[in-house]
Amino acid sequence: MQAMVRDMRNRFLVALLFTIPIFVYSPMGGMFTPPAPPFGLGLDLWLFFLASAAVIYPSWPFFVAAWRALRNGILNMAVLVVLSVGTGYLFSVGSTFLFPGVQFYEAVAVLLVFILLGHWLEMRARAGASQAIRALLDLAPPMATVIREGREVEIATSEVQVGETIIIKPGNKIPVDGEIVEGTSLIDESMLTGESMPVNKAVGDEVIGASINKSGSFRYKATKVGADTALAQIVKLVQEAQNSKAPAQLLADRASQWLVLIAILIGLATFATWFWWLGAPLLFAVTLTITVFVIACPDALGLATPMAVMVGTGLGATNGILFKNAGALEDATKLDVIVFDKTGTLTMGQPHVVDIVAAEGRSDEDVLRLAAAVERGSEHPLALAILDRAGDLALDDVRDFHNREGMGAEALVGGSTVLLGNRRLMDEENVPLGALSEAADELKGAGRTVVHVAHKGDLVGLIAIADAPRPTAIAAVAALRKRGVEVAMLTGDNEGTAKRVAAQLGIATVLADVLPGQKADKVKELQAQGKRVGMVGDGINDAPALTQADVGFAIGAGTDVAMESADVVLMRSDPYDVVGAIVLSKATLRKMHQNLFWAVAYNVIAFPVAAGVLYPLIISPAVAAIAMSGSSALVAVNALLLKRTRMEGIGSSVAESGESDRSPTASPIPA
């Protein structure tokens, strides 16, 4: 794309370089007497050389595209560009060497300059629209340490081959996707999945390129490199979205083909009417005919939807909303109901202390202080949840910390042994549960993770930990309902638990006791009621439902399933981005309609004027070229204004709304 941008820029500059002296020497420039042509050449011959340099090389891609289109029986914009530029140039050449007449060299050159400028700016927009995603791609480290011939070698990430063993140390970024073969660690995948909680990885687990190793050292085998990595797939998604055609754009393409045919017919009819019927001079009839061809160039119609799609998808990508295709950009505006999967979508997947049950004679603070003292310095997700709840509590000194694999931990706190872990640890150490046994069973039955805290051989309390709702979940539901979109929650929880969760989030429609294989059926049931359904899920168990929905939104973009199943990928794993996606879609569609209206209205007005219907008011081919380019510029500017439009859930308008608006406090909910 960058090479194409440079090529189009060079063609524009060449055309501009030779058009300036053409404009100066031509009668159209006529504001002063130009110097005599060099080398003793006549003015006609001098303009011929300048125009040939300004037209032949710069316009060559249009001639190639027009030839290919005609071979396939298609009339596109390239055909009309060649028709207008070629007709004017050839007629001028003929009047220079074969018959007396006025040349259109300046009109043809000016027209081509504006056409090339429009295409150059469009290509620059296409190349720049993915800038945010290319910045994401730069998150991958430039170098990787691999094992080659039995020793460690540092090589460029681009040279890593599938099957090679890569060494990762604490703090390293992971260069490519792969599978751990030795060691364990906590890995921060937030830049890809949006999950703020580091993920525990062990032998056999997959790791994603560009994620960050937070703790241990490990070795892993590269399974995906280059264009196959998750990051490269994200770039591919945006490129496909920007190059795909929305339904409105397909309509514009068909309209462009008809416009070319109509322009040819009107041009020929203009010539026949003025030359044969009204008896006008040949030069006058040809001038009006060329003017019709010039002014009919459907640049504005051709740019109407692609520019809006490019700006819309680029703006979405900048804000973590990836549209896989332009069709999804339109379909998102028509949704009647949004179905959210609960776990991992409305919830964070991040542990949170939801309850503390202290033994008789002990306080909640005593239990929390002992547990936090043991967990101090640990990076385990449950430990972080306990430490977060402990806050600024004063903690005793700890020594002799010992991790009990699969059960918990033990340490000396203030000189006494403290055990922290699951029931297996209590049973192995012969710690009686006593009166807290029933409470532990109830908490576990409610979906909580129960951490037992024992001090000097006695159970002093229980700490219940559960998944927490995403900070913006309640605000997202409220915003969707405010916009007239019904919100439903889909979950495998029993109906009682599901309704309690839904009530906390403000969701009225609950689909409970749903197995992963039944989720797509629930979407079908809603569609059978005549509703357009959007499905929001994590892209793994929800893959069939994401595919079945009219628009699938994948929370987290780190897996192939999320990318392949969904129409829209929410990079930040923020449910409020569903609101942003819908708002952006509506704004983009509005720009499409505005651009199409202007492009069609322009041609409806321009054709009669160019054909001389308002004679003696006529316009020259050069003025027509400027008017045509002005139409294209207006369409492009209107599309670019989308970037400055304040939209809920997109850009600065979100940040300025304040976290209090989007992140209301919510009670933790069952996993």
Known catalytic residues are 341
At residue 542, the 3 state secondary structure works out as: coil
| φ/ψ (deg, to 5) at 259 | -65, -40
Residue type for 261, please?
A: L
> 36: which DSSP letter?
P
Beta strands in 370-521 (DSSP E): 398-404, 408-413, 416-421, 449-455, 458-469, 486-490, 509-511
Q: What angle in degrees, to the nearest 10, is found between the helix axes of 473-482 and 576-610? A: 40
Dist. CA 487–CA 526, nearest whole Å: 12
Phi and psi angles of residue 360, each rounded to the nearest 5 degrees, phi first: -60, 130
User: Alpha-carbon torsion 39, 43, 49, 53, what sign?
Assistant: positive
CB 112 within 8 A of CB 18: no
For residue 170, whether the previous peptide bond is cis, meaning omega lies within 30 degrees of 0, is no
- Report yes or no: 304 and 488 within 8 Å, Cβ to Cβ: no
Tokens of residue 472, six digits: 């913006």
Q: Tell me if residue 185 falls in helix, strand or coil.
A: strand
Q: Which two tokens stand for residue 28?
A: 């159209």
Burial 436-470 (b: 16+ CB within 10 A, else e): beebbeebeebbbbbbbbbbeeebbbbbbbbbbbb
625 and 632 in contact (C-beta within 8 Å)? no
Nearest to 209 by CA among 191, 184, 197: 191
Q: Which residue has the tokens 């941008």?
A: 5
The one-letter code for the residue type at 65 is A
Backbone φ and ψ for 338, nearest 5 degrees, come out as -115, 125
Q: How far apart are CA 544 and CA 566, in angstroms?
A: 9
Q: Sort strands 177-183 and 206-207 into parallel, antiparallel or unpaired.
A: antiparallel
Q: Among all chains, which residue has been given the structure tokens 């409305």?
A: 346
Which residue from 554, 503, 502, 509 is spatially nearest to 529, judged by alpha carbons?
509
Provide the residue type at 509 as one letter: T
Dist. CA 382–CA 111, nearest whole Å: 68
Cα 601 to Cα 606: distance, rounded to the nearest angstrom: 8
Q: What angle (nearest 5°) sits at the alpha carbon of residue 473, between those of residues 467 and 479?
A: 170
Q: Among positive and negative, which fits the CA dihedral 137, 143, 148, 152? A: negative
- Residue 339's nearest CA partner among 480, 449, 454 is 480
